[in-house]
Structure 1
């Protein structure tokens, strides 16, 4: 879930509710005179820990769990230090600032219904009240970062032109392919014998497609069993990262006019023909400039926020107990 102060939240804070330390909790760390309970660390890490449940290797799962807990603890330590600075400077947030931030979060997530928003917050472990408190703290921390970090963030024209040159180089090297395909469908529950029979059928069609003068588009209309049959198997132009890996590998390794061997996907066996290859068009500097400036500002913000937090850590007394 995006927040009003997304860059600062990503660099300094984790997203998740903060549990109040109980006397029976194990102490995870002491930051100056503040205690971070193990329950706080576990709650902060809970979304990531839930995702680890699918890892079958116990050793990998344990290593990943320890890493997730360490990252959560680091975030909480940073949060404690920032909170101390916020208190010392008397920084707060107003009701109108919180309401504006709430409205922005809803816009960013495409939410127009308050009930839907409350449901989303509930999945993230918040009530409406606790989320408003969370945003209020975020806003106060944002004011601190504005004071301590913003003056250092400068994006020059040279920075922008260098970023654009790298962008243009990367994009200019990329290609996109126009291809057609013929599908020999295979039922997901097909037996190995049925899968092999379909492969042989696809191989025969591939041989037919390679015959001199053969019109692949007409062959696709006559023989394909896929939804693109009516369009002669036309897939249009596509870049890397769009198709499934096996399909993409064949598409970008074939020369124009070449026909592939049968390619297996979840839908069946595909015979692919590359019609055209072309370099991806590069967006002009004028069009890219606002986006590049935003990216550079975010990168520099994250860098300086991290530096500021490291400075706070050097001045603090921190004792990690887990």
Structure 2
């Protein structure tokens, strides 16, 4: 019975915290079968392609500065970041060639992006912005714009 009550609590928390800590909730849910119900409901973990934008910086201080701009303008208010606003931040801060295109990575399949980048991209809800994270290329945050199979 205790196991049955935990998935219900986890699903409720995941819906409320999707914009701020979706990555952390999904990481815990992925260890057992109980996370599957929440993932299939919103497409997390089940889609084949993701459409995303990102900001990439070599230094952690710079990525934190860029993320703070999103927090001050959108995230602290509980708002979703419009792609056009995210693009402005990417053009200003991103050190990736995609920064000139507003950080637009277009649609990409599972297996194309390495390690933590793929994990975060495929676990961030549509319309949400991930927290900053580190990959082999530097520091990123991602805006998920869409999912499809």
TM range (shorter): 0.5 to 0.7
In structure 2, what is the equivalent of residue 291 of structure 1?
none
The answer to whether the aligner puts 1:184 opposite 2:68 as a matched pair is no
Contact 1:263 1:271 in 2 (8 A): yes
Where is the strand percentage greater, Structure 1 or Structure 2? 2
Where is the helix percentage greater, Structure 1 or Structure 2? 1
Q: How does 1:16-55 map to 2 (within 5 A)?
A: none
In structure 1, what is the equivalent of residue 129 of structure 2?
259
- Deviation per CA, 1:78-127: give whole Å up to 9, x if none: xxxxxxxxxxxxxxxxxxxxxxxxxxxxxxxxxxxxxxxxxxxxxxxxxx
Task: Tell me which structure has the larger Cα radius of gyration.
Answer: 1
In structure 1, what is the equivalent of residue 65 of structure 2?
201
The alpha-carbon distance between structure 1 residues 222 and 259, as it changes in their structure 2 partners (threshold 3 A), is same
Alignment RMSD (CA, Å): 2.3
In structure 1, what is the equivalent of residue 48 of structure 2?
175
The Cα shift of 1:174 comes to 4.5
The normalised TM-score by structure 1 is 0.28
Q: Runs ≥4 in structure 1, deviation > 2 angstroms?
A: 197-203, 208-214
Higher relative contact order (CA 8 A, sep 6+): 2
What residue ranges of structure 1 are gaps of 5+ in the alignment? 1-172, 187-194, 280-322
Distance 2:74 2:113 in 1: 23
In structure 2, what is the equivalent of residue 218 of structure 1?
88
The Cα shift of 1:219 comes to 2.1
**Structure 2 counterpart SS, 1:259:** coil
The Cα shift of 1:207 comes to 1.9
The normalised TM-score by structure 2 is 0.56
Residue correspondences, number: 98
